[in-house]
Copies of this chain bind each other. A is one copy, B any other.
Amino acid sequence: MKKKTIALDMDNVIADVESHYINWYEKEFGIRISKESLLGKRETEAFPDPDAIWRFLFTPGFFRTVPVMEGAKEAIEILMKDFEIYIVSAAMEFPQSLPEKLDWLKEHFPAIGWQHIVFCGNKGIMNTDFMIDDHIKNLDHFTGKPILFTASHNVNVSHHFRVNTWPEAVAYLQSTLTNELSH
């Protein structure tokens, strides 16, 4: 049977960009911003100096050094057995990030080959069975099953099915396989 396809976002889903913002912000301004203070705010407006995040996003090396999201490696290893995984990142706004993101994926997720990597501007023409993303702009018009991955900026979103952690995501996706077999 053909495996179902999943489009996985990078930033805030498999790459912990939020922690990376906090670390870089502390390095530059000497202030440690708490995760709690980011809740419900747009990423580019949540920090005392709102220009800093935009600057980081265009700084060479930023995307290459993002920490891996907790649980993502283990989850993807499990999911690859039953699903076809595509990494789909809306990276085109940040041209310097493209080779960095490729190198980052090669280092941290070597099992995902270049055949399954997609860099785009918007995700409007992506056609997979599932999409895991932290941004509603990518999920709202998605034709498959959208899954919102919790990030501080999206805690007040209530119109999408949500997972808070990678183990939760894996449990949900595996349950769809069981449901399918039982029908």
Q: Which residues of A does B touch, CB under 8 Å?
A: 5, 7, 86, 88, 92-93, 95-96, 98-99, 102, 113-122, 124-128, 143
Contacts and interface: CB of A to CB of B under 8 A. Distances in A.
Residue of A95, A117, A122, A125 with highest tally of chain B CB at under 10 A? A125
Nearest to A118: B120
Closest 3 CB pairs of A and B: A127-B127, A115-B121, A92-B114
Contacts of A95: 99, 102, 114
Contacts of A124: 5
Nearest to A5: B125
14 contacts: A7-B125, A86-B125, A92-B118, A92-B119, A95-B99, A95-B102, A95-B114, A98-B99, A117-B120, A118-B121, A125-B127, A126-B126, A126-B127, A127-B127
A95 B122 CA distance: 20
Chief secondary structure at chain A's binding surface: mixed
Contact of A98 (B98, B115, B128): B98
A125 B92 CA distance: 18
Contacts of A86: 125
A116 B121 contact: yes
A125 B2 CA distance: 14
A7 B120 CA distance: 12
Contacts of A7: 125
A1 B99 CA distance: 38
A67 to B, nearest CB: 22
Contacts of A125: 5, 7, 86, 88, 118, 126-128
